Amino acid sequence: MSSGGSDTSSRRDSFNSERGEEANQGSSSSAPFKYLPKHIFGSIEYPGPISHPSSILKVISQQDINECFNAPSSSSASSNTSSVARPILEMRYRGLDDPSSFESPVRGHRIPSQKLLLKITKRRRKGKDKDEGVFRSEVVGSVPQTVRFRSMADYQWTPDPEGPTANLVNSLKSLDYNAILDYSFSPLEEDFLQPHSNPFDPKIKYKSKLDLQPTPIFSTKNLPYSYNYKVPNQVVSEPFFDRRTQTWKRRYVNKARVAGVGPINVPHDHKLGDVPREPTMQVKNKLGELDAGLLKKLKDLFEERPVWMRYALFARFDVNERKELQRVKAYIPTVSYIMGTGPFWKCLVRFGYDPCGDRESYKYQRIFFYPNKKTVKTPINVDPLDSEEENEGVNETKQKGWWVEKQEQLIEQGERPPLDMTEAHIFNGRYLNRERGDYQFIDITDPLIARYINDVDKLNNKCSLQTGWYPPSLFRLIKNLIRTKYMYVWENHYPAPDNLCEGFIEEYNSGKYLVEDLNQDEGEVEGDEEEVEGVDDGVVDEGDQDDEEQPGG
């Protein structure tokens, strides 16, 4: 269908005026050009049989139809919240004139459409028994908006028309103030059912005598799509053993999913010696994609030291090698597995080596804590009852990143050596290269602390979940020494003196915590729960973040 304009062929064939005139009149075309009328109509797709368009007014009022089609679009309606009209049309199957109608309406939504309204005229010939005639079609206008009903029908329930619930609803509709105030719940009777015949379902022989309130709206969701429950081509059926029922069953497995290549996770309470000795088949299949030189260097480092923290391990590689290790996830699982709990939590361990069965692995234990940064004013650590005079001494400029800025100032003033990210995993008690208290014992070089770490005569014969190879009293001392010196260097940016730790050493030498060692020897110690699975002093360890944190980043 076109909307006017002269025929272009007549311009090309201007030498034949008669032919051009016929083309303009449309005599040479079987479908002449017609102008599109400017009349606009609205369309309602009624979900059911209907005999005449006016029958729609039995289930939808004319006022609702006008408000629906005159309502603004969704974008303009959102900006003008005062508009009451919405592009939604509510229909009641039982009719608008039914006074006992308590059902929830079915909603239809107005959507834009591009349709034309055709008028079909049929003229029958007189004297013809057969249904033959002349048909003529005419475009009477366009239909730019259509209301479609795609929502599910709601549950219907009809209360007793003479009951208290129906009377209350009618009072609300008529705004009968006195009737609403006088409403009260009637007492329940002992007999809740009465015989009743249902013509639609003969199996239902009783009717409830409970006069309940009308049910709320059940659902306004659209009808679900029909997926035909077809299984994708990548999904196959495989057998598996159900340990709960001790039977073999079948389940669908999506073979298109890429298998993960993360390190094998081993808990602390595993059977001694029962550790992985080779990578998984998924990792073996990716060995051909790895760089041989980088893989050899990685294996040599695990031969040099069987247990690594990820941050300490990556410090032995240059920038390009670290990027390759981060990009290709199969390097680490090729040579090591990871401990999931205990004193070696989140440490990478060489295949075949069990730190829980080797007493010499005490030096590879991990100890971590997070400083209580009370010098940073936040709503969490500032007491609202403190006076402003007490808070004047707090440095309000210490926000996120303040520590690094302070170190840069000290470096410019020559008061400390430059930051070395390859030494960030080492704690010497003098200077910090990383704002995080997370170390392995082998990387703690402070002479005072190292003396107690290497006191091997005090080590236990069994690796515990909480303190590893150390008795609780010695482990507590080592942790207090590290925390004290770390906090001093972190706060003051200068080497920590040994006299800060005299009080902890005196408590340890006095035997104040020996009872913990005796309980552990008897197998009754419950352990310092703050060290289990990365929880310390009420702060959850950010081990996952540490795995992604690399030197120089």
Q: Could you write out the DSSP letters of every residue in 225-277?
A: P--TTPPPTTEEEEEEEETTTTEEEEEEEETTSPPP-PPPEE-TTSPTT----
**Structure-model confidence comparison of residues 29 and 369, the more confident one:** 369
**Structure-model confidence comparison of residues 149 and 356, the more confident one:** 356
Q: Looking at the predicted structure, is the pLDDT value of residue 548 above 50?
A: no
Please report, as a single letter, which amino acid is at residue 86.
Answer: R
Do residues 380 and 504 both lie within one domain? yes
**Cα(211)–Cα(190) distance, rounded to whole angstroms?**
14
Which tokens go with 274?
């029962």
Question: What share of the chain in percent tops pLDDT 70?
Answer: 71
**Structure-model confidence comparison of residues 540 and 268, the more confident one:** 268
Q: At 223, is the pLDDT very low, low, confident or very high (cuts 50, 70, 90)?
A: low
329 by DSSP, 3-state: which? Answer: coil
36 by DSSP, 3-state: which? Answer: coil
Q: Looking at the predicted structure, is the pLDDT value of residue 545 above 50?
A: no
Do residues 303 and 173 both lie within one domain? no
Tokens 């007490």 appear where?
A: 390
Q: Looking at the predicted structure, is the pLDDT value of residue 435 above 70?
A: yes
Alpha carbon of 289 to those of 292, 320, 329, 331, 334: distances in Å?
Answer: 9, 17, 11, 10, 12
pLDDT at 475: 92
**Cα(237)–Cα(216) distance, rounded to whole angstroms?**
43
Do residues 279 and 204 both lie within one domain? no
Question: What share of the chain in percent tops pLDDT 90?
Answer: 23
Among 38-52, 333-347, 505-519, 525-539, name the one with the lowest average pLDDT. 525-539
pLDDT digits (tens, 9 = 90+) for 456-512: 898 999 999 989 999 998 999 999 999 999 999 888 888 989 888 888 888 888 877
Angle (nearest 5°) at CA 248 between 243 and 252: 100
pLDDT at 298: 94
> Nearest to residue 63, comparing CAs of 92, 94, 85?
85
**Structure-model confidence comparison of residues 94 and 468, the more confident one:** 468
Do residues 195 and 291 both lie within one domain? no
Do residues 189 and 293 both lie within one domain? no
The chain-wide mean pLDDT, for the chain, equals 76
Angle (nearest 5°) at CA 532 between 527 and 537: 90
Average pLDDT over residues 218-236: 70
Do residues 194 and 290 both lie within one domain? no
Burial class of residue 169 in the structure, from the number of CB atoms within 10 Å of its CB (0-12 exposed, 13-18 middle, 19+ buried)? middle
Kindly state the helix (H) or strand (E) to which residue 249 belongs, with its residue range: strand 247-254
**Cα(419)–Cα(528) distance, rounded to whole angstroms?**
34
Task: Establish if 466 belongs to a structural domain.
Answer: yes
- Structural domain for 168, as ranges: 164-208
The answer for 354, left when phi > 0, alpha when psi is -120 to 50, beta otherwise, is: beta
Q: Looking at the predicted structure, is the pLDDT value of residue 184 above 60?
A: yes
Q: At 259, is the pLDDT very low, low, confident or very high (cuts 50, 70, 90)?
A: low
Tally of CA atoms within 13 A in the half-sphere of 338 that contains its CB: 15
Task: Establish if 307 belongs to a structural domain.
Answer: yes
433 by DSSP, 3-state: which? Answer: coil
Do residues 485 and 347 both lie within one domain? yes
Among 48-57, 346-355, 372-381, name the one with the lowest average pLDDT. 372-381
Q: Looking at the predicted structure, is the pLDDT value of residue 7 above 60?
A: no
**Cα(377)–Cα(397) distance, rounded to whole angstroms?**
9
pTM more than 0.75: no
Q: How many domains does the chain have?
A: 2
pLDDT at 256: 66
**Cα(518)–Cα(509) distance, rounded to whole angstroms?**
16
